[in-house]
Structure 1
Amino acid sequence: SSPNYQPAMATYRNQSSIRHTSTINNANDADNESDDEFSLNSGSPAPSDGGRPPPLLYLRITNAKVVCSLLKTIQFRDLATICASVNGLKVTVEDCKSLQANVYLQTSLFSQYTLRDDEPLFFKLNYVMLLECLQMFSDTEASSPAVMELFLPDDRSAVELHLEDAGVVTDCRIRTIEPEQTLDFNFNAAALCFKVIIRSEQLKEVFSELDPHSELVEIFVSTERRLFRMSTFGDLGRGVYDFPAESEAVEMFQSPDVSVAFRYRHALLKCCLKALQASAKASIRCDQRGFLSLQFLVESADGHNCFIEFFLVPNQPEDEDEIAGSDDERH
């Protein structure tokens, strides 16, 4: 059944002068430092408005374009679920039960990040609306980057964005939606079928050459020949693209005990293209069930390493002839 929520909407207010905001100081309080790999920026409390309680979540970044460019890489559906934790934000977009994309925004990316409670915080919103708000200044050729502040008030009714660029302040308010539980693919990273790390530049070339008319893309990893292969099947024939383990494009090759092959819907792999184009390298992992994990390392404009991850479900063959035929063709 559909969740009860009000339609997502945003309100804007432009001002010709800089709006006054509370001064935020980043105090170095050793007693409040986290033992996590990515610790929470601590010291100053989140700013409050009048008599309202402090927001559940407050963050500030001095270059909104950094966040916008990362979030655009998983823009293939209208809604997104956001999880805020002491390690940062995880933004999730899903396609039915076949594909999940996650962007990880670590606390080190923000100049200020305050989570009022220690427990993870979940909320859902209109992703298209969020990106439209972020792109208002991100697409301009301004001499200085736009500063973004994000608030989630105590009632969780809406996400409030404040963007400032060259003396112009824009306030946006996007209503939230009651979040549903995101998919758990139960991906077992400790029991991988194979793992390959490939430089994105070479992998982009292969993605651009995949037959667009092929409904499926096969990923084949050979133990004997030590190679990673992507294949398409179209009216014009079969396309084969190999990455030998010894090639310069391959930085890591962990092969299975026996050669394996799984097929995936081409339409799902296309959703990864924006993240691939923005990345420096890609980690391709597969578990025993054929569930695929694609992790992309992206270096942001301000020098931070960020990660984007996709989980894909393998295509189930309709009959054994499809499997047998593909085995014959590989040789």
Structure 2
Amino acid sequence: MDNSNNPIFTAVSSSVRQVSLLLRCIGFSPKAEVQITTDGLRFSVEESRAVQGLAFLERSLFSSYTFNAASDTATSSPNETTSSPSFQINLIALLETLQIFGLSDATHSSSRNPNGGFTSPYAHNAFNTPALAATGGTCRMSYPYLGAPLSITISEAGVTTTCNLNTYESSTDAGFDVDESIPLQRDALTLKIIMRSTWLYDAITELASTNPTMLILTASGHTTPLFALEGAGGPFGDSVVDFQPEPSRTPKSGLSSNETGKDEQARAPWVSETFTVLPGSGTRGTIRQRYKFAHIQKAARAMDLASKVCIRCDSQGVMSLQFMIELSRDGIGVGPARDAERLNGGGAGGAAAARVSFVDFRFVPLVDEEDDEDGSDKENESFCVDMNGSTASGQ
């Protein structure tokens, strides 16, 4: 069964920092489901079937990427997701391996911040560890055959380290994508908002000061508040962040075509690039969903690093936060501040050199009496199609 001459998967990355950065965004669980596809690697972690983190390492992040689908299955269609091998891996061990040469901030381990992770560990300084270790170095990943360890070889400055990480049988059914654990019904969306991630990050940070137990999301296409986040159940009372409507009375292109065109209906939160609330999605077209605040905090690292976020809710209340993270040539994440700096004063070709990756979080709502929480999972779409299509017009 050893296919070492023709391994299932091999890939080489010239920037370990990029890979480590993306995987640390979902590092709230010790084990991750990994799926190898022709387009890249899908990593999925979850907790109590209530929150799920998804990171997709596109093949464009690697200088070399080889996937031999025929090595692990008898089917002759390598593009089919059913022929994509999947396995479990210890995510903490993987992250420690990737930072073996100090590619991550030494003051932060791979375990999550007990305070919610709202202090960014990615402050960019010419003398900090990530900046000194970001140049040079390569990472080679290899998965020879089904059940074999995942081999990771990291080389830098003439020093080479090889780690073989044990893999475990996947807990998902054969043929299923790893991102189907908490399905988002894209054909039954009730809310879609695209905004800069820093606005959401600041709002969650503000709400966290009262130590709430619940996050209540309210959105409406015609009544105020158009979009509000409330932290409830904390020992210091409740707090609300209300995203005010834009001052202009001109309708925004992102509004739902079903709206009637009244002044109040034509307005959207001024921080949003796209704002769509489908009528009939709640009482008088108003959406109100409750989520566990501690679950939302698990997305704080991605929230801090991302340039934009796409907030979506479906008819069952499942919420998706899809973050667009920009990666520069040296592998350091470009957050909102550095993104603006690059656009304003970056050299020629700087924008073209940046790469875009996506990290997705999904949250199951807290159950109301009238809610019928039954998770029908009939959904299999490409990971970042919505954000790709929307951000092109948003810029």
Same fold (TM over 0.5): yes
Looking at structure 2, the residues matched to 60 and 307 of structure 1 have their Cα atoms a distance apart, in angstroms, of: 20
Could you say which residue in structure 2 is the equivalent of 1:184? 181
Looking at structure 2, the residues matched to 279 and 291 of structure 1 have their Cα atoms a distance apart, in angstroms, of: 21
> Does residue 1:286 correspond to 2:313, yes or no?
yes
> Does residue 1:120 correspond to 2:84, yes or no?
yes
1:97 pairs with one of 49, 64, 73: 49
TM-score of the superposed pair, with normalisation by structure 2: 0.65
The residue type paired with residue 105 of structure 1 is L
Looking at structure 1, the residues matched to 306 and 162 of structure 2 have their Cα atoms a distance apart, in angstroms, of: 31
Could you say which residue in structure 1 is the equivalent of 2:276? 254
Looking at structure 2, the residues matched to 142 and 240 of structure 1 have their Cα atoms a distance apart, in angstroms, of: 41
- Residue 245 of structure 1: how far off its partner (Å): 4.8
Looking at structure 2, the residues matched to 176 and 236 of structure 1 have their Cα atoms a distance apart, in angstroms, of: 45
1:150 pairs with one of 131, 135, 141: 141
- Cα distance change of structure 1 residues 75 and 244 upon mapping to structure 2, 3 Å threshold: same
1:144/1:165 contact within 8 Å kept: no
TM-score of the superposed pair, with normalisation by structure 1: 0.78
Looking at structure 2, the residues matched to 243 and 186 of structure 1 have their Cα atoms a distance apart, in angstroms, of: 28
1:151/1:161 contact within 8 Å kept: yes
1:196 pairs with one of 193, 198, 205: 193
- Cα distance change of structure 1 residues 213 and 116 upon mapping to structure 2, 3 Å threshold: same
Question: RMSD of the alignment, in Å?
Answer: 2.0
The residue type paired with residue 279 of structure 1 is A
SS for the counterpart of 1:311 is: strand
Alignment gaps of 5+ in structure 1: 1-48, 321-331
- Residue 145 of structure 1: how far off its partner (Å): 2.8
Looking at structure 2, the residues matched to 207 and 87 of structure 1 have their Cα atoms a distance apart, in angstroms, of: 33
Looking at structure 1, the residues matched to 299 and 274 of structure 2 have their Cα atoms a distance apart, in angstroms, of: 20
1:62/1:110 contact within 8 Å kept: yes
What are the equivalent positions in structure 2 for 1:22-171 lying under 5 Å apart?
A: 52-117=4-69, 118=78, 119-137=83-101, 138-139=103-104, 140=129, 141-142=132-133, 144-171=135-162
Could you say which residue in structure 1 is the equivalent of 2:216? 218
SS for the counterpart of 1:148 is: strand
- Residue 143 of structure 1: how far off its partner (Å): 6.9
Moved more, 157-166 or 184-193: 184-193
Q: How many residues align?
A: 271
Could you say which residue in structure 1 is the equivalent of 2:294? 267
Looking at structure 2, the residues matched to 163 and 199 of structure 1 have their Cα atoms a distance apart, in angstroms, of: 35
Looking at structure 1, the residues matched to 369 and 92 of structure 2 have their Cα atoms a distance apart, in angstroms, of: 36
- Residue 188 of structure 1: how far off its partner (Å): 1.3
2:49/2:182 contact within 8 Å kept: no
1:90/1:104 contact within 8 Å kept: yes
Alignment gaps of 5+ in structure 2: 70-77, 105-128, 173-177, 247-268, 280-284, 330-353, 372-395
- Residue 239 of structure 1: how far off its partner (Å): 0.8
